[in-house]
Amino acid sequence: MVRGFKIEMLLRLLTALTITAVIVMVLYLQNSWLFALVILLVCLSGYYEWISNRFKYPLYGFLLIFNFGFWSIFLIFRGAGGDELMAYFLYGAIIFSTALFDTFAFIIGSNFGKTYIVKNISPNKTLEGLIGGLLPLILIGIFLIEYQSKLPGALGTKDYWIILYFVLIGLSAFIGDLLISYFKRQSGIKDTGTILPGHGGVLDRIDSHLIATPLLIILFFIFL
């Protein structure tokens, strides 16, 4: 069991590093059309998995997945406060924070999780995992507040709402993950695909981003 867990963790790590390298490259190049193409391919792949796994409510799946795509592309083309570089920085921060929550929730939940939240939907979702995923995000929020004078533009703030912003990242990531888990449970499958070793399918990888990314981009435009 321990050996199997280590192999799974290694596969997850290698896949995560590959995905991270692609994301960093796309963000570094700052090519809006390349970014839009990558997001579109991700959305199409995710929706293909939704259909091929015969998840319920295909229209809902379409809206959920392409809403994520729309707001991702909108942020880059609209810019953050008219600043394209800031838009890429913000998007990278959201993706990184969501992935950070996902990673820590998985590690803490796998090793220390005992209190199930919704066992009938996802037996791997525990209160310990949720708290473990939220803690690093809260620490990031505290860091941003403490060192606000050294941060670029809109992120330089003494407002403590930024901690709530990061808590929302974690909670919305958890809900997105739980949502896809529900549909997988309904279809009797463990993963939505096999294209990403250690992670499963595209939907398995972006599930925590489906709600978190649009929500946080919208909040950014409303309050900043």
Annotate 21-37 with DSSP letters as a single string: HHHHHHHHHT-HHHHHH
Determine the pLDDT at residue 215.
92
Residue 92 token pair? 């990278």
Determine the pLDDT at residue 6.
62
- Domain boundaries defined on the chain: 2-223
Which residues, including other chains, have CB under 8 Å from residue 113's CB and lie 6 or more apart?
Answer: 124, 126, 127, 128, 129
Res 142 pLDDT > 50: yes
Determine the pLDDT at residue 167.
92
The closest of 166, 171, 111, 169 to 141, measured between CA atoms, is 166
Summarize pLDDT for 190-208 with one digit per residue, the tens. 889 888 777 788 998 899 9
Res 149 pLDDT > 60: no
Res 154 pLDDT > 70: no
Distance, in Å, from the CA atom of 215 to the CA atom of 210, rounded to the nearest integer, reads 9
Indicate if the alpha-carbon torsion angle 162, 74, 32, 62 is positive or negative.
positive
Distance, in Å, from the CA atom of 50 to the CA atom of 64, rounded to the nearest integer, reads 11
Summarize pLDDT for 59-73 with one digit per residue, the tens. 999 999 999 999 999
| Lowest mean pLDDT across 44-48, 72-76, 117-121, 127-131 | 117-121
Distance, in Å, from the CA atom of 221 to the CA atom of 87, rounded to the nearest integer, reads 11
Res 50 pLDDT > 90: yes
The conformation of residue 124, written as its DSSP 8-state character, comes to T
Query: What phi and psi, each to the nearest 5 degrees, are found at residue 208?
Result: -75, -15
**What element of type H or E holds 123?**
none
Q: What does the angle CA 66 – CA 168 – CA 146 come to, to the nearest 5 degrees? A: 125
3-state secondary structure of 156: coil
Determine the pLDDT at residue 156.
47
Maximum distance among all Cα pairs of the chain, rounded to whole angstroms: 51
Where does the pLDDT of residue 144 fall: very low under 50, low under 70, confident under 90, or very high at 90 and above? Answer: confident
Res 157 pLDDT > 90: no
What integer best gives the mean pLDDT of the chain? Answer: 85
Distance, in Å, from the CA atom of 119 to the CA atom of 25, rounded to the nearest integer, reads 38
The mean per-residue pLDDT over the stretch 153-181 comes to 81
Residue 158 token pair? 């003494």
Higher pLDDT: 22 or 212? It is: 212
The conformation of residue 155, written as its DSSP 8-state character, comes to G
Distance, in Å, from the CA atom of 213 to the CA atom of 93, rounded to the nearest integer, reads 10
The mean per-residue pLDDT over the stretch 78-105 comes to 84
Higher pLDDT: 170 or 16? It is: 170
Determine the pLDDT at residue 71.
93
